[in-house]
Amino acid sequence: MTLTSLRQQLLAGDTTPAAILRQLAGDIATRDSQTGAYLSYDLESALAEAARADLSLPLGGIPIAIKDNLNVLGQPCTCGSKFLAENYTSPYDATVIRKLRAAGAIPFGRMNQDEFAMGSSTENSALQVTRNPHDPARIPGGSSGGSAASVAAGTAIAALGSDTGGSIRQPASHCGVVGLKPSYGRVSRYGLVAFASSLDQIGPLTQSVEDAARMLQAIAGYDPLDSTCLDVPVPDYLAGLHDGVKGLKLGVPKEYFGEGIDPGVRARVEAAIQSLAAQGAEIVELSLPHTEYAVATYYVIAPAEASSNLSRFDGIRYGHRTSSPADILDLYKKSREEGFGPEVKRRIILGTYVLSSGYYDAYYSRAQKVRTLIRRDFENAFQQVDAIVSPVAPTPARKIGAFAADPLHEYLSDIFTLSANLAGIPGISVPCGTTDFDGGKNLPVGLQILGPHLGEAKLLQIAQAAEARREDHP
């Protein structure tokens, strides 16, 4: 059931917040063992909140699943890491949680993820395996894999995730749900455990575009506790949702349809673009010439920022501490060695290297310059078109373990999502049909729509048109 339809049922008196929670808890108990999306949930405290839910509020009485890197007062916040799994309990609510509560929603469930959001498969979780509800042999995508898988499996109504280089859009694409990464500065990150602070954004994963609009409405807006959060008005995201695409110009970047893209993905995405054209959109071919540098640029900047952000996990202040250190340096070293998994260590080593004296100019400064070129590509494109349409990922969900020995291959598969984070622009993934891939049948494919900074309303409007005509491209 979508958030929108559930809200109607609640308002009509056909169900209650407590009944919804009990139903979800039952579904999780019987079905989540196949998916592994939930790390934990706290039915007692959710029921206590349900008892005082105000149904007149926009999300009144609706439970929302939360990625395990967002702080919710009194609950675990493991970030999918052994480092925080043992003895960390959130001492406060993230701003998005405070805003969800102010809109009447009930945070319910802690969703699995790649450790500290580093990855695109959820295989880097140190805590459990999450499977794709469409095919349990396959990844759900990542890093917000638990959030996407639960919404796809119907064990959550809607969820929050975070997106540093694709971690909302890519799992949404692989699981056949809607995932929205807002513009940099649109949503406060206060209370999100930072991965790469110049790239991170929080956003919704939902069953419908309208649900995504309702979620964004609730979480967007200024917050003095995040200095990067913009003090600009939040538009009404539902107002123009059904205005269609007639007369809008949609750019198709040739670099997003080249080598390495699976033919089934290409066919589904092209069919979705055709359907938007049939609804009156004008399709414009264009070029984003610096696309080929996005992976290299991101995998310098993101690890650099991560290596700095993760220095706070030292065995003193948070989480894991080694048992019998020889001295203080040994305490830092062993706590980090024991607490972090292999991908996180790889990122810290890479990041420390590119920031080190002698290499800073060769790697980090240069990456920042290329980042500016990538942002300008989009600024130029949005002089000509209202939005850009593309695939989200080069292939549908791969099998669990397929890239285990090859992190570079995994990084390359982020090619279509990283640029939006580097440029700070919003992006949405909306389901556009299914295809067969590598022995798997009917695997979901997502259409990505990218727009200018703070252009979420138009993205949602286009996504709504794509969703409404999904029968055109099954």
Query: Which residue's CB is nearer to ligand GLN, number 141 or number 431?
Result: 141
State yes or no: residue 395 binds ligand GLN (CB under 6 A).
no
State yes or no: residue 467 binds ligand GLN (CB under 6 A).
no
Candidates 143, 147, 419, 429; catalytic one: 143
Question: Binding segment for ligand GLN among 41-49, 114-122, 320-328, 397-405 (CB under 6 A)?
Answer: 114-122
Query: Which residue's CB is nearer to ligand GLN, number 123 or number 210?
Result: 123
Within residues 282-321, the interface with ligand GLN by CB under 6 A covers 302
Task: Tell the smallest beta-carbon distance from residue 162 to ligand GLN (Å).
Answer: 6
Alpha-carbon distance 317 to 312, whole Å?
7
State yes or no: residue 125 binds ligand GLN (CB under 6 A).
no
Alpha-carbon distance 205 to 144, whole Å?
9
Is position 81 annotated as part of the catalytic site?
A: no
One-letter amino acid of 39: L
Alpha-carbon radius of gyration of the chain:
21
Within residues 129-188, the interface with ligand GLN by CB under 6 A covers 143, 163-167
Query: Which residue's CB is nearer to ligand GLN, number 303 or number 431?
Result: 303
Tell me, rounded to whole angstroms, the distance of Cα 460 from its chain centroid. 16
| Element (DSSP H or E) covering residue 447 | strand 440-450
Per DSSP, the chain holds a count of helices (H) and strands (E) of 16, 11
Task: Tell the smallest beta-carbon distance from residue 167 to ligand GLN (Å).
Answer: 3
State yes or no: residue 363 binds ligand GLN (CB under 6 A).
no
Query: Which residue's CB is nearer to ligand GLN, number 62 or number 159?
Result: 159
* 46, 75, 154, 298 from 199: Cα distances, Å: 32, 26, 30, 9
Give ∠ CA 340-192-177 in degrees, rounded to 5: 95
Alpha-carbon distance 157 to 155, whole Å?
7
Among 201, 280, 266, CA closest to 454: 201
Query: Which residue's CB is nearer to ligand GLN, number 133 or number 303?
Result: 303
Alpha-carbon distance 408 to 399, whole Å?
17
Is position 143 annotated as part of the catalytic site?
A: yes
Question: Binding segment for ligand GLN among 112-120, 241-249, 263-271, 328-336 (CB under 6 A)?
Answer: 112-120
Alpha-carbon torsion, ordered 95, 187, 17, 51, to 10 deg: 20
Is position 167 annotated as part of the catalytic site?
A: yes
Output phi, psi for 190, to 5 deg. Answer: -60, 120
Alpha-carbon distance 112 to 351, whole Å?
25
Question: Binding segment for ligand GLN among 18-26, 111-119, 210-218, 226-234 (CB under 6 A)?
Answer: 111-119
- Applying CB under 6 A, among 71, 120, 183, 206 the residue interacting with ligand GLN is 120
Catalytic residue numbers?
A: 67, 143, 167
The residue ranges that bind ligand GLN (CB under 6 A) are 117-120, 143, 163-167, 195, 302, 414
